[in-house]
Structure 1
């Protein structure tokens, strides 16, 4: 265990880097995925919907590591050079947003179109219905899926070492190469990932309980809604 204690500051610094990239990518994914999911639900113009679904299909059905290599090693072939941090955030964010888009779209659809009809009968505009009626009610159904995606993004940061970003996994491998203490070091790295993901899960469960106790708050519940299962 001396290899772990002697190199713990080095590993913790890599852990901070991991959390930074995960947080940045998560914000990126939530914003872009939330926008695209809402547009897919709200806009009935099929070219727009097919473009969004093409984006989702492309990123969900190709390996993340291949996408990461394209951003960092492939784009220079076209004369575009991205730095490792930019490629890392962009790669993680786009990959995550493809899942967030589907989570948001499915949750919004789960509220039920009758909510829109009820809102229209009260004189609300289409935008107000989505922002004030549909989104607040749908958010509770998004929480489990968004939590799964946040956990997945944290784990996917372990691939950023392939483009020279010295996150936790790469630093662990660097220490192993000089100490050969593979088992304790990998167990330590795994424990760090486990801690942050367990905390994310507990936080999400707490949020779900708040919403279940009426935390939907300002939602204008205009009738019963049908919930659909959402998977990351």
Structure 2
């Protein structure tokens, strides 16, 4: 078994690196897309609100694997050809961007209206109030759920193996098909996902605890 692990290690390590890069890149794009969609859905302008709403509902109503297939296999028929890496990043970013938009929208909506009114009283325009007053407070609220989606994206990168991206799952499949040691290789891949995702999940829980509003409330005075 140890000899097998030594021979598999270079391929699996390359797969882990690509998986992490896909996760980081996909989440970075998804965060920007999710925030833009959330702002569009909160806009009083129908020309922004309705298309954003339709986009989010369509993406959330279809499976990620189908979106990956559509981007990689269907879009070239319409003249847009992407490499597997580009298609994988686009699929992950679009899918998670739609879900993160709801997280951002909920976070912004959770900020009391009095904050906007106070900003207006100070002479701030709506855009300035959103950027300087509302969003900084909303970010504190949305960080824990965003962290959970980050861990979920790391695991969902396994789906991009279906469009020939040689990430961790794809590398494991290749090794298994060459060696026929399905139990050993898939157990190793399983453990690699756990070794990375469990500490990440614990980190998200720690961050959620640190950002819990209850922790920053002043303690009640002791009874006389």
TM-score (ref. length: structure 2): 0.88
Q: CA deviation at 1:214?
A: 11
Structure 1 unmatched ranges of 5 or more: 217-232
2:161–2:169 contact (8 Å) kept in structure 1: yes
Give the Cα separation in 2 of the matches to 1:215 and 1:132: 24
Which gives a bigger RCO, structure 1 or 2 (Cα 8 Å, sep 6+)? 1
2:144–2:207 contact (8 Å) kept in structure 1: no
Give the Cα separation in 2 of the matches to 1:213 and 1:184: 45
1:4–1:184 contact (8 Å) kept in structure 2: no
Q: CA deviation at 1:130?
A: 1.2
Q: Matches of residues 67-216 of structure 1 in structure 2 within 5 Å?
A: 67-212=67-212
Give the Cα separation in 1 of the matches to 2:28 and 2:208: 20
Aligned to 2:35: 34
Task: Give the total of aligned pairs.
Answer: 215
Structure 2 unmatched ranges of 5 or more: 217-224
Cα distance change on mapping 1:52 and 1:155 into 2, 3 Å:
same
Give the Cα separation in 1 of the matches to 2:201 and 2:162: 28
1:3–1:181 contact (8 Å) kept in structure 2: no
Q: In angstroms, what is the RMSD of aligned CA positions?
A: 2.1
Give the Cα separation in 2 of the matches to 1:74 and 1:215: 50
Instruction: Write out the 4+ residue segments of structure 1 that deviate beyond 6 Å after TM superposition.
Output: 213-216
Give the Cα separation in 2 of the matches to 1:84 and 1:72: 7
Q: CA deviation at 1:212?
A: 4.4
Aligned to 2:19: 18
Aligned to 1:5: 6
